[in-house]
Structure 1
Amino acid sequence: MLYKFARPFLFSLDPETAHTLALWSMSHFGGFIRCNPMLTDKPVQVMGLEFPNHIGLAAGLDKNGEAIDALASFGFGHIEIGTVTPRPQPGNPRPRMFRIPKQQAIINRMGFNNHGVDNLVANVKAARYRGILGINIGKNFDTPIDKAADDYLICLDKVYPHASYVTVNISSPNTKNLRQLQGESELDALLGALKSRQTALADQHGRYVPVALKIAPDLDEAQVTNIADALRRHRIDGVIATNTTLSREGVEKEKHGGETGGLSGLPVREKSTTVIRQLSRLLAGELPIIGVGGVMEPEDAVEKLQAGAALVQLYTGFIYSGPGLVKECVAATREATPA
């Protein structure tokens, strides 16, 4: 109800300004909110972890982990923060975020703007939240692509003790050449390095933290097949499908529809679900899929589960509909899954 009144004001502002204001408000007043995931009536086991429900917050909304406690109060079964890089970086020049309300979409070209991994870890340590926390890691924009693994390993080392699971983001369209890491040889080398380090860190900390890979929706079936094979070969714990799309199908004629960046929201729903279906068939339950992309109403969350996802994440739908969407999606997915 509160969001219903706040949204017209927030949508009257530049999207990034509204985003910053909302996060600032949550980070400063979140301490007054009881930090406890509320919707915990149907837990689900994924990646060896018990999630209170099927619905989580996707990475990108809280890049630096500044509002974890406030976000936890909305009923998410898990929260994913980041993407974070080894060193702080400002991201791409503004403006770099654009709403397309008619299509319930957002285009962003943020460019992994964040305060760096050390800042994120400090924020995680300060938070009271003790639920499932995913930390999404990436590479700095000026790290050569052939040295990208070094950045991911730096981040993995630093976030490992504080994460429930770690997501490796190789699919943002807003860091130059990043999606090259989805190529067969590049991916094989990266996953091999990550799995080796994960094994060493598990021994060091006496605790196994799952690693998931986040992929793009702009992949053909052969590319999805190669990725599925690599995930199995390197025993990666999960896959998140999908990131934003470079396609402009459905928004070509809309204001801001031609802006550079990744498109999220309703127009990416079917693309994301198609990749989930392909992965589900190829992986045959060997590792879980987390579905994200275009979940604007409860039926979309159910569709992702029916396509083969074990969990579903929200971002753009949360921006357009507010926290009430979390409760609605939790209820819908509870009713749609076996007892």
Structure 2
Amino acid sequence: MNDFLSSIGRRGLFMLDPETAHGLSIKALKSGLVPSCAPAADPRLVQTVAGIRFSNPLGMAAGYDKNAEVPNALLKLGFGFTEVGTLTPKPQDGNPKPRIFRLTQDNAVINRLGFNNEGHEVAFERLSAGRLNGIVGVNIGANKDSADRVADYVAGIDKFYSVASYFTANISSPNTPGLRDLQARESLAVLLSAVLSKRDALAAASGKRIPVFLKIAPDLTEEGLDDIAAEALEHDLDGLIVSNTTLSRAGLKAGPHNGEAGGLSGTPLFERSTAVLAKVRQRVGKSLPIIGAGGISSVETAIEKVRAGADLLQLYSCMVYEGPTLPSRIIRGLSNLMDREKVSSITELRDSAVDKWASKQLD
């Protein structure tokens, strides 16, 4: 019955412009029209990553709840955590519309939103006004017209330190000109030093250490991955998120929107993002936490990310096609897989396919 209702809902939403449909889905979550469908807790899926205890490894990626409007409602869908943002110090409109495009034949999305959000102050008021019912990460970025982008990231740490379960520094969106330049080694060293210094100062003052993750692109070269891994380890970063959207259009079916500018997400991102994940795991070793994101649409793709080296998982775009029951279906599927594999913890499956995925060539 839930699958039938999801199918009806998808057909209705797909009659609308993608950005309008997104706004309606936020309103539905706010209103409570989307019922709670969290699966029963399974201790085999519980793990502690970067000092945080996660009830299950699946999270909602940043980009959906940009303005921290519905974190509790998302957690009720079965996610073990959710991430709000990307948030910039000042409000900004982002790029001109239309700026989201469905590639229905590929179960994919192209977006060139450009960090559209209501700014730090509005999101902070929402997060601090009510009780958060789980783990809520805050994804921070820089304003497009910022004179000092590093300072914008530091401001995000400062503003949200009292409400964030963890931070993600997003330097990998392709939709803010020059942002990905922060992935270059010298620039990244400056950014990480500034962000982590601010975090450490706030931790000393508050007695509470909030982890900081770095979100990277799937379009990096092997040499670029070397540099990021080296800086992550040198600066004692708490973890990485692999990966953001891609500029590649390899393997897409013919369609009216395939040539649109922006980042591609959804099913076609799975192969490349998983290969990059495994390559990063080889470079950083076994201890540094990694959140695997990109193309997760099923229990099979979720567990393959774990086998490629992920401790935690995130999805977003595939919910456009699979509906709001996707997270609970994946979590139930992971529990069933634990039964079949006869393992006591999902962590026992991590890294079992790292070499296979890491051997894939990056285009």
Aligned-pair distance for 1:183?
0.1
> Corresponding residue for 2:111?
108
Name stretches of at least 5 consecutive residues in structure 2 with no aligned partner: 345-363
Q: Report the Cα distance in structure 2 between the residues aligned to 1:303 and 1:61, rounded to whole angstroms.
A: 24
TM-score by length of 1: 0.95
CA distance in 1, matches of 2:106, 2:131: 37
Q: Following the alignment from structure 2 to structure 1, what is the Cα–Cα distance between the partners of residues 276 and 334?
A: 20
Identify the residue that residue 307 of structure 1 maps to in structure 2: 308
Q: 1:49 aligns with which of 45, 48, 52?
A: 52
Query: 1:221-240: CA deviations, max 9, x gaps?
Result: 11111101100000000100
CA apart distance, 1:307: 0.0
Q: Is the 8 A contact 1:252 1:258 kept in 2?
A: no
1:232 aligned partner, one-letter code: L
Distance in 1 (CA, whole Å) between partners of 2:68 and 2:6 is 22
Aligned-residue RMSD, C-alpha: 1.6
- Which of 116, 120, 140 is the aligned partner of 1:117? 120
Question: Is 1:69 equivalent to 2:72 in the alignment?
Answer: yes
How far did 1:5 drift? 1.8
- Pick one of 136, 139, 142 that aligns with 1:136: 139
Give the drift of 1:37: 5.8
Letter in 2 for 1:197: K
Residue 253 of structure 1 deviates from its aligned partner by 2.7
Partner of 1:212: 213
Structure 2 equivalent of residue 7 of structure 1? 10
TM superposition shift of 1:205: 1.6
Give matches, 1:135-174, under 5 Å.
135-144=138-147, 147-174=148-175
The one-letter code matched in structure 2 to 1:261 is G
Q: Distance in 1 between matches of 2:327 and 2:312?
A: 13
Distance 2:278 2:180 in 1: 21
Q: How many residues align?
A: 335
- SS of the aligned residue for 2:32 comes to helix
2: CA distance, partners of 1:37 / 1:195: 34
CA contact (8 A) 2:71 2:136 kept: no
Give distance in 2, aligned partners of 1:45 and 1:328: 22
Q: Retained in 1: the 8 A contact 2:86–2:139?
A: yes
> Contact 2:72/2:134 (CA < 8 Å) preserved in 1?
no
1:292 is aligned to 2:293: yes
Residue type of the partner of 1:11?
F
Q: Distance in 1 between matches of 2:244 and 2:98?
A: 21
Distance 1:202 1:307, change over 3 A: same
User: Following the alignment from structure 1 to structure 2, what is the Cα–Cα distance between the partners of residues 129 and 191?
Assistant: 28
2:244 equivalent to 1:243: yes
Match of 2:357 in 1: none
What SS does the corresponding residue of 1:218 show, helix, strand or coil? coil
Tell me the CA shift for residue 94 of structure 1: 0.3
Quote the Cα distance in structure 1 between the aligned partners of 2:231 and 2:138. Answer: 22
Name whichever of 213-222 and 127-136 sits farther off: 127-136
Q: Percent identity?
A: 45
Q: Which residue of 2 aligns with 1:40?
A: 41
Q: Once the two structures are superposed, what CA deviation does each residue of 1:173-217 show, in whole Å capped at 9, x if it has no partner? A: 000100000001000110011111110010122101000000000
Q: Distance in 1 between matches of 2:272 and 2:293?
A: 10
Greater shift, 202-211 or 90-99, is seen at: 202-211
Letter in 2 for 1:278: K
Alpha-carbon distance, 1:122 to partner: 1.2
